[in-house]
Amino acid sequence: MKDDCFYKVKITKGKKIDICHWGYFPYKMVMDDVKQLYKDGADAVELEMITKDRFDKMIEPYTNPEKYTKKRK
């Protein structure tokens, strides 16, 4: 869809840092999720806008695992 956004998301809570990737969501949904992260206790949420191609490349091992796993004999 034309309104889809793609982000690398860095979530900080205390000394713990999680990095995830969000994609194929409209901007409003992304902002609602950011607000929820703060309500859940996040100290910081950093959004880095990425391209659709970069996002697709990043998640490909999860969407096409047979391509990335070794075949057992």
Give a yes or no: residue 16 inside a domain: yes
Give a yes or no: residue 41 inside a domain: yes
Number of domains comprising the chain: 1
Give a yes or no: residue 36 inside a domain: yes
pLDDT tens track for 13-46:
999 999 999 999 999 999 999 999 999 999 999 9
Provide the CA 12 distance to its chain's centre, in angstroms.
14
Question: When comparing pLDDT for 57 and 11, which is higher?
Answer: 11
**pLDDT on residue 1:** 56
Q: Residue-wise over 41-59: b if at least 16 C-beta within 10 A, else e?
A: ebeebeeeebeeeebeeee
Per-residue confidence band for 73, with pLDDT thresholds at 50, 70 and 90:
low
Q: Is the pTM of this model over 0.85?
A: no
Give a yes or no: residue 22 inside a domain: yes
Calculate the average pLDDT of the chain.
89
Cα separation of 44 and 42, whole Å?
Answer: 6
Give a yes or no: residue 53 inside a domain: yes
**pLDDT on residue 66:** 73
